[in-house]
Amino acid sequence: MRTPGGSEIGEDGMRLGYFTMPVHPMHRNWAETLKEDREAIILADKLGFYDAFMGEHLTDACETITNSMMFHATLIPETKQIKLATGTSNLSHMHPVLIAVQAAMFDHLSEGRFILGVSPGALTTDAEALGILDQDRNKMFAESIDVILAIWERDPPYDIDFPDNRFKVSTARTMTLDLGVGIMAKPYQTPRPEIVGTVVAPFSPGVVLMGKRDFHPLSANFLLSKHLKSHWENYCKGKAEAGAEANVADWRVARAICVLDDDKMAARYGRDDPKSPYRFYYEQMRAKMKRGKRLYVFKSHKEQPDEEITHDYVMDHCVIHGGVNKVVDQILALREEIGDFGELVYAGMDWVEPALNKRSMQLMAEEVMPQVNAAIGKSAAAA
Q: Dump pLDDT digits (tens) for 252-301.
A: 999 999 999 999 999 999 999 999 999 999 999 999 999 988 999 999 99
Average pLDDT over residues 304-314: 96
The pLDDT of residue 373 is above 70: yes
* Residue 139: pLDDT band with limits 50, 70, 90: very high
Instruction: Give the confidence band of 315 by pLDDT, cuts at 50, 70, 90.
Output: very high
Residue 6: what pLDDT?
A: 37
Distance (Å, whole) CA 15 – CA 363: 15
Return d(Cα 80, Cα 110) in angstroms, integer: 10
Q: Is the pLDDT of residue 1 over 70?
A: no
Model confidence, pTM: 0.95
Q: How far apart are CA 128 and CA 206, in angstroms?
A: 24
Whole-number Cα distances in Å, 64 to 68, 85, 152, 219, 297: 10, 17, 30, 22, 23
Instruction: Kindly report the average pLDDT of the chain as a whole number.
Output: 95
343 in Cβ contact with 253 (< 8 Å): yes
Q: In this model, does residue 10 exceed pLDDT 80?
A: no
User: Which residue has better confidence, 171 or 1?
Assistant: 171
Q: Where are the beta strands (DSSP E) in 30-174?
A: 51-54, 83-86, 89-90, 114-119
Q: pLDDT above 70 covers what percent of the chain?
A: 97
pLDDT at site 8 = 42
Q: How far apart are CA 326 and CA 244, in angstroms?
A: 38
Q: What pLDDT score does 383 carry?
A: 74
Nearest of 319, 327, 341, 334 to residue 369 by alpha carbon: 327
Q: What value does the mean pLDDT take over residues 127-145?
A: 97
Q: Which helix (H) or strand (E) holds 285?
A: helix 277-291
> At 177, is the pLDDT very low, low, confident or very high (cuts 50, 70, 90)?
very high
7: confidence class by pLDDT, cuts 50, 70, 90: very low
Quote the pLDDT of residue 2.
31
Residue 9 reports pLDDT greater than 60: no
- pLDDT score of 193 more than 50: yes
Quote the DSSP letter at residue 156. T
